């Protein structure tokens, strides 16, 4: 819940660079503007140990994930990001990263499905799990516009 004396709450957005997460970013801005909250774009990254021995020595999975999130923010907002926008990167499974980020948030916004899953699924595993386990209300932004 928003604290007294005009402090702004946080609307968390799960961002993976997919068109659905860009839609979620745009929708979160509308909600944030209407409710007087800030937007926090959250991206997750993890190292897949199966491929670790084959990874180039200069490969930085956190930096790669950060680039994906930064590019998505740029695509969603252009040169005019919302006031108070923050970006958080965290190592971990995306579902758990978003559930953790929901602690103390006013709400969390996710797309209907992102990078994984089967074509035609209405709700992806990440958005479904976040909707089931988040510690705040969840908004699922449908479509890509």
The separation between CA 117 and the C-alpha centre of its own chain, rounded to angstroms, equals 17
Q: Specify the pLDDT at position 118.
A: 45
Q: Specify the pLDDT at position 16.
A: 93
Q: Specify the pLDDT at position 61.
A: 81
Helix (H, G, I), strand (E, B), or coil: what is residue 36?
Answer: coil
Q: Specify the pLDDT at position 46.
A: 86
Q: Specify the pLDDT at position 56.
A: 60
Beta bridge partner(s), residue 109: 13, 139
Token pair for 60: 């930085």
According to the CATH classification, is domain 10-141 in 3.40.50.620? yes
Helix 61-77 and helix 19-35: axis angle, to 10°?
60
The domain segmentation of the chain, as residue ranges, is 10-141
Block means of pLDDT (10 residues each) for the chain, 145 residues, are 59 95 96 96 81 63 92 96 94 95 97 58 75 95 75
Closest CA to 98 of 55, 90, 19: 90
Tokens 């997750």, located at residue? 44
Q: Specify the pLDDT at position 120.
A: 45
Closest CA to 98 of 24, 45, 43: 43
Residue 58 — φ and ψ, nearest 5°?
Answer: -95, 10
Q: Specify the pLDDT at position 121.
A: 46
CA distance 82 to 99: 23
Read off the DSSP letter of residue 2: P
Q: Specify the pLDDT at position 9.
A: 95
């Amino acid at each position: 819940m928003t604290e007294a004396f005009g402090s702004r709450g946080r609307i968390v957005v799960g961002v993976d660079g997919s068109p659905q997460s860009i839609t979620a970013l745009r929708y979160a801005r509308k909600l944030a503007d209407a409710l007087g909250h800030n937007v926090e774009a959250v991206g997750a990254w993890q190292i897949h140990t199966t491929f670790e021995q084959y990874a180039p020595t200069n490969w930085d999975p956190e930096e790669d994930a950060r680039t994906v999130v930064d590019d998505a923010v740029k695509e969603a907002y252009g040169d005019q990001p919302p006031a108070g926008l923050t970006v958080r990167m965290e190592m971990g499974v995306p579902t758990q990263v978003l559930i953790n980020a929901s602690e103390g948030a006013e709400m969390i916004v996710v797309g209907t499905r992102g990078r994984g899953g089967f074509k035609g699924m209405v709700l992806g595993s990440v958005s479904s799990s976040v909707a089931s386990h988040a510690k705040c209300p969840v908004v699922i932004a449908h479509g890509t516009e």
